[in-house]
Amino acid sequence: MSAFGSVFMPEMAISWFDGSQWSDAEVVSSDSLQLHPGAHVLHYSSTCFEGLKAFRHEDGSVKIFRMDKNIRRLAQSSELLALPAFDEAMMESMIRDIVARFADEVPAPPGSMYIRPTHIGTEPAIGKAAVPSLTSCLYVLLSPVGDYFTGGDKALRLLLDDEGMRCPPHMGVVKSGGNYAGALQPIMKARAEYQADQVLFCPGGDVQETGAANFLLIDGNEIITKALDTTFLHGVTRDSILTLARDMGMDVQERELTVEELLERSARPGCEAALSGTAAVLTAVGTLIYKGKEYQVGNGGVGETTLRLRRALNDIQWGKAADTHGWLTSL
Ligand SMILES: *Cc1c(COP(=O)(O)O)cnc(C)c1O
């Protein structure tokens, strides 16, 4: 098995903005991207991306999950990074066309085709540290992925960090390269010093998210997660899981969650915690590490509600349950 996201389809969809208009979308070899070494993105991180998936159903058809939400988020990220605006309908047809071209390669469940739309500032202008790139490029890469849970469905260990932050507070909603590079050192340190899988960033005691996934606390019939603001990424999986939880009659609370309340609730029997994101869907959290002490969440394993919510989402994605919220797009 190769690592998630390391295998690519041989072609991608691409379109260039020359400062006044977008070129017609083309399909080109996925290793052909020519950039000037002085390109804005390579110096000033004018880059944002998306991650969504296409699924193969039993009848052979291929469906894309919540494409509209992901395209909207890419448009918002682009705007917040002062990248040129693009037509969301053009992005949609680029995604549909490239997925259709490789429809035969979409793995069957539990695999899927991971779709990576990317927008970068291309203007060769190293003097523009404080000025937007006038030109840009949009491309859509495809990467077939297998079962995220091969090798076991183990509950993760998270280090709670209430001193640092993942990114500046106004940048959390932007799925942008710089945010990830900036979080690497704290994550590597947590791995080396605490054998933690991820860091749960909790600036000033406010429980936010990890490096690439949202955090949910599940306590009996309650699901608690931070209310949307600009400080963290508004996950499409988070939104989908909360919607399904409401459908199941759960008490969904989008509000502030402090480290203190998190640790207090975690100790209760039956308490669960999970990370949500497109890659991992919903992954259980079994241990929290805070100020050198370890706290087990519930029984420390993979919780029943976590599994039930993950299955409910997978069932819709895989065409085994009715798509009651209209989340799937046919090619
Ligand atoms: C992508 C991402 C998520 C999860 O978003 P989904 O839309 O559910 O995939 C959460 N946090 C960060 C920082 C992310 O980059």
Q: How many CB atoms lie within 10 A of CB 258?
A: 14
| Nearest protein Cα to ligand 1, atom 1 | 212
| Closest atom, ligand 1, to C-alpha of 277 | 8
State which fold the 11-145 domain adopts.
D-amino Acid Aminotransferase; Chain A, domain 1 (3.30.470)
**Cis-peptide into 110, omega within 30 deg:** yes
pLDDT tens for the chain, 331 residues: list them.
Answer: 578 899 999 999 999 999 999 999 999 999 989 999 999 999 999 999 999 999 999 999 999 999 999 999 999 999 999 999 999 999 999 999 999 999 999 999 999 999 999 999 999 999 999 999 999 999 999 999 998 887 778 999 999 999 999 999 999 999 999 999 999 999 999 999 999 999 999 999 999 999 999 999 999 999 999 999 999 999 999 999 999 999 999 999 999 999 999 999 999 999 999 999 999 899 999 999 999 999 999 999 999 999 999 999 999 999 999 999 999 999 9
State which fold the 156-317 domain adopts.
D-amino Acid Aminotransferase; Chain A, domain 2 (3.20.10)
Distance (angstroms) between ligand 1 centre and the Cα of 233 equals: 6
**pLDDT value of position 280:** 86
| Nearest protein Cα to ligand 1, atom 5 | 235
- Enumerate the CATH 3.20.10.10 domain ranges in the chain, comma separated: 156-317
Helices (H), 214-275: 236-247, 259-266
Output the CA torsion sign for 165, 171, 174, 180.
Answer: negative
| Nearest protein Cα to ligand 1, atom 6 | 235
Nearest-CA neighbor of 109 among 51, 52, 143, 60?
A: 60
Amino acid at residue number 86: F
**Gap between the Cα atoms of 2 and 25, Å rounded:** 30
Q: What is the dihedral of CA 178, 207, 233, 144, to 10 degrees?
A: 90
| Closest atom, ligand 1, to C-alpha of 211 | 13
- Enumerate the CATH 3.30.470.10 domain ranges in the chain, comma separated: 11-145
**pLDDT value of position 1:** 54
Residue of 184, 232, 278, 317 with the most ligand 1 atoms within 8 Å of its CB, for mutation: 278
Question: pTM value?
Answer: 0.97
